[in-house]
Amino acid sequence: MTQLITLANESGVQLKLMTTGAALLSLTVPVGESQREVLLGCKPEDYAKQQVYLNAMVGRFANRIADSVLHYQGETYHLVPSQGANCLHGGKDGFDRREWSVVSQQEDKVTLLLHSADGDQGFPGECDVTLTYALEGTDLLIDIQATVSKPSPVNLTCHGYFNLDGKRSDVRDHALMVNASRYLPIDGMGIPLSVPQPVEAALDLRHSHLLKDRWLSHPQLISAKGFDHCYLLDTAGSDEVAARLTSADEKLTMEVLTNQPGIQVYTGNYLAGAPSRDNELYHDYEGVCLETQLLPDSPNRPELGDPWLLPGTIYHHQTRYRFIAG
């Protein structure tokens, strides 16, 4: 049975989440004299009805693996498809559908645990994940560690849908900057077409732009119905800001800092029909996801990096969402 958890700190930040999917339900931050909701979300009892990974922790491998197959050192592993022929976000019964266990909880921090069996969704080896959500000042810190019993690709991310307006609105009125000079062009199913390419025209987000000003003005954006692309961060291994999102009224900014090499920018292109808190179903483009991660389809494509975790080593993902009112 799902457990509901509320965290809060002296800075006035409050986070609500549940153990099912380790999914976030609400995140409010102080803006002026009021609290502003910065996440989309649904009622806990409606979570099972949605198919858009609403604020969930996704894995064992976030993003897409082409044809739902893994090849590694002469072995072939067939995964459970979850988007056409491809494996998206770990399969049909990925980590977003699992019941996580609470290891420890403080007023401003909670640590959750998930065990994934050998062969889970076709992935080799057991996988044990420790996930911490912590409020630090006006930051939400997400820290993930994982180990495996056999070589396995591991790639987790928070699939949070952000809207900094504090109300239901079109997120294309937000401004976005992504500190990346390369991205992955994709086919119609979101599988990378090639090695990373230089950002160009509407796909160049190195300077802050309103999303609507770039809207569907590039063949890649037309094909995906918006942004759904992995950017290779120029900030990898540094403390620089990887991405910056600003509300339509410019009263709230969110900065993203991460130790991950990529960030998937997804503008909620297929959000329509998902349940909301207010009983009116969500529409497309009401939230934007900034999913820090390893690169899609990399388990079978060494040119995109090596996501294979080996026994005796630790996967460590850390992402910080920093909120700045002003």
Instruction: Give the model's pLDDT for residue 197.
Output: 97
The kind and range of the H/E element at 134 are strand 127-136
State the Cα–Cα distance between residues 163 and 286, nearest whole angstrom. Answer: 7
pLDDT band at residue 86 under the 50/70/90 scheme:
very high
Across the range 303-317, mean pLDDT stands at 98
CA distances, 320 to each of 136, 199, 257 (Å): 9, 24, 5
* Per-residue pLDDT at 236 exceeds 80: no
pLDDT tens by residue, 172-218: 999 999 999 999 999 999 999 989 999 999 999 999 999 999 899 99
* Per-residue pLDDT at 84 exceeds 80: yes
Which sign, positive or negative, has the C-alpha torsion 2, 136, 325, 242? negative
Amino acid at 138: T
Amino acid at 36: R
Q: What is the DSSP letter of 33?
A: T
- For residue 221 the two structure tokens come to 């954006």
Which sign, positive or negative, has the C-alpha torsion 252, 29, 236, 156? negative
Catalytic one among 159, 174, 229, 317? 159
Buried b (16+ CB within 10 A) or exposed e, 78-89: ebebbeeebbbb
State the binding site.
Answer: 63-64, 159-161, 228
Instruction: Give the model's pLDDT for residue 143.
Output: 98
What is the dihedral angle through the alpha carbons of 73, 74, 75, 80, rounded to the nearest 10 degrees? 90
The kind and range of the H/E element at 244 are strand 243-246
Query: In the chain, pLDDT over 90 holds for what percent of residues?
Result: 97
Is there a contact between 268 and 281 (Cβ–Cβ < 8 Å)? Answer: no
Nearest to 228 by CA among 285, 170, 180, 272: 285
- Average pLDDT along the chain: 97
Catalytic one among 89, 174, 291, 317? 291
pLDDT tens by residue, 107-141: 999 999 999 999 999 999 999 999 999 999 999 99
State the Cα–Cα distance between residues 263 and 294, nearest whole angstrom. Answer: 8
Instruction: Give the model's pLDDT for residue 207.
Output: 97
The CATH code of domain 4-325 reads 2.70.98.10
Domain chopping of the chain, boundaries: 4-325
* Per-residue pLDDT at 170 exceeds 90: yes
pTM above 0.95, yes or no: yes
Provide the 10 A C-beta neighbour count for residue 32.
Answer: 10
Known catalytic membership, residue 200? no
Phi, then psi, of 271 in degrees rounded to 5? -80, -20
Query: In the chain, pLDDT over 70 holds for what percent of residues?
Result: 100
Sequence-ordered list of residues with C-beta below 8 angstroms from that of 26, at least 6 positions apart, any chain: 14, 15, 16, 37, 39, 41, 277
pLDDT band at residue 326 under the 50/70/90 scheme:
confident
Known catalytic membership, residue 159? yes
Buried b (16+ CB within 10 A) or exposed e, 66-76: bbbbbeeeeee
pLDDT tens by residue, 24-41: 999 999 999 999 999 999
Per DSSP, the residues of 147-197 read EESS-EE-B-EE---B-TTSSS--GGGSEEEE-EEEE--B-TTS-B-SS-E
State the binding site for beta-D-galactose.
Answer: 63-64, 159-161, 228
State the Cα–Cα distance between residues 113 and 127, nearest whole angstrom. Answer: 11
* Per-residue pLDDT at 89 exceeds 90: yes
Instruction: Give the model's pLDDT for residue 238.
Output: 82
